[in-house]
Structure 1
């Protein structure tokens, strides 16, 4: 049975301060006796998420072909022999995206752009249009960003993966109930890395609740962090057939159900 270790870095993000956030991640990883095969950071870990206007975040977005943040994370990935999965604001051909970069010691391997949009995403970013799956250490991974997990239309693309890596900026705990439901529904591990701290804008203050969690395909809680900045490494084992779907061709069953209900 294949297994992979994942280090969750539940970061207290310093608002709009890329250099300090990158330095903080470096310090956190340096203090660990061992770092997992994968290191998971929160959504938009280097910038924060809510702004007074779109121009503030657009100034912080980076072209992934020439990204100081990705360059810095590449150095960390090589040093700690880990694959870093991190939420980074992206600029591409005049469009702005709430994205996740998958980075190893040689640089950017993959990227994913958030498909769902909160009212804030709609103000700042263009919508992503593709799911991301990739192989690592003998397992298949998918990537979803925060609000994505609320939509089975998005998550169904990950029916066949072993682990969904889920960077988030959750302010409340209801989203963890949704993440648990998705673990059961898709028959995979759900690994949510939330943030802590605040984004302070003119209209209000957004506070993030931490509580990063890992759920098994059975919906069992494997790991739960507190509401402070923290780091934890968890071992994930391959369950190639989720127990609730043993003996069932899930996609075929979905099609059969749809054909009956749509008559």
Structure 2
């Protein structure tokens, strides 16, 4: 199968970018990944347009495009939350329609003012592979993605809007933030022995008010289960990355060092002792 990362600028006009890429890609088994909040963008002056799953024209159009082209697609969006602030969510669509929705659990810095936290990590069994979805900061917590791998994930899709830090916005100072973003996707691929599809946005976003303008780091990448980077996008500007994701590398990584098997054995031993 083919994995595709589409590095775009997430904003309120993101729907057309998502649809345009799905329509242009043709038919065939592929997993297409868009950035965090690709459909809606981040808040401006604390407000962001939110979609209700099952009652959203934008989500319905993405679902229809995935069906039409036999593709799987992961798309970030702000999800309506009747109980409070919206969720920072991601929907996985497939040829048969909506597969599932994940809500970002770990909210850094000012995101706590804009969004509600989501729940536990989840995986989805599809015709392509078993897929875990981690939204941005969630992937910085090894236990979050390790739980997905232990539940059977073969691919971790990590959608992002990684900010530059410091005066350019977001948590952390600039040099440290760049080191994290240079390291985390490969580290999680090695931790979980899965493919990691880490799709970032590019460009700036004006949050308004005291938050001001923040800049994204770009550099989306695809990493194999052996920790090797297969493709990398530039720091600024749109990009599409493609790589073939095969079972042989999964098998090689997991046979070489049995991290997942040994983790399960430890879990079972602890249960027996309890």
Assess same fold via TM > 0.5: yes
Q: Where do 1:199-214 residues align within 5 Å?
A: 199-200=205-206, 201-203=208-210, 204-214=212-222
Counterpart for residue 203 of structure 2: 197
> Quick check: 1:64 aligned with 2:53?
yes
- 1:33-76 superposed Cα distances (whole Å, 9 cap, x missing partner): 667521111100022224322xx12xx11111201221110122
- 1:96-154 superposed Cα distances (whole Å, 9 cap, x missing partner): 21111111344322011111111232112221112121122352111100001111221
Deviates more, 1:132-141 or 1:242-251: 242-251
> Quick check: 1:147 aligned with 2:137?
yes
Q: Let me know the Cα RMSD of the aligned residues.
A: 2.5
- Size of the aligned set, in residue pairs, is 248
Counterpart pick for 1:77 among 56, 66, 76? 66
Contact kept in structure 2, 1:176 and 1:213, CA below 8 Å: no
**TM-score, L = length of structure 1:** 0.84
Counterpart pick for 1:112 among 83, 102, 116? 102
Structure 1 residues 34 and 171 mapped into 2: Cα distance closer, same or farther (>3 Å)?
A: farther
Between the aligned partners of 1:23 and 1:254, the Cα distance in structure 2 is 47
Counterpart for residue 245 of structure 1: 257
Give the number of the structure whose residues are more often strand, by fraction: 1
List runs of 5+ in structure 2 lacking aligned partners: 165-177
Between the aligned partners of 1:149 and 1:12, the Cα distance in structure 2 is 21
Structure 1 residues 64 and 33 mapped into 2: Cα distance closer, same or farther (>3 Å)?
A: closer
Counterpart for residue 40 of structure 1: 33
**TM-score, L = length of structure 2:** 0.81
Counterpart for residue 25 of structure 1: 18
List runs of 5+ in structure 1 lacking aligned partners: 259-263
Counterpart for residue 236 of structure 1: 245
Q: Which is bigger in relative contact order (C-alpha 8 A, separation at least 6)?
A: 1
Between the aligned partners of 1:253 and 1:48, the Cα distance in structure 2 is 42
Counterpart pick for 1:186 among 188, 192, 202? 192
Deviates more, 1:224-233 or 1:246-255: 246-255
- 1:210-250 superposed Cα distances (whole Å, 9 cap, x missing partner): 11101111111111111311113221112145255238732
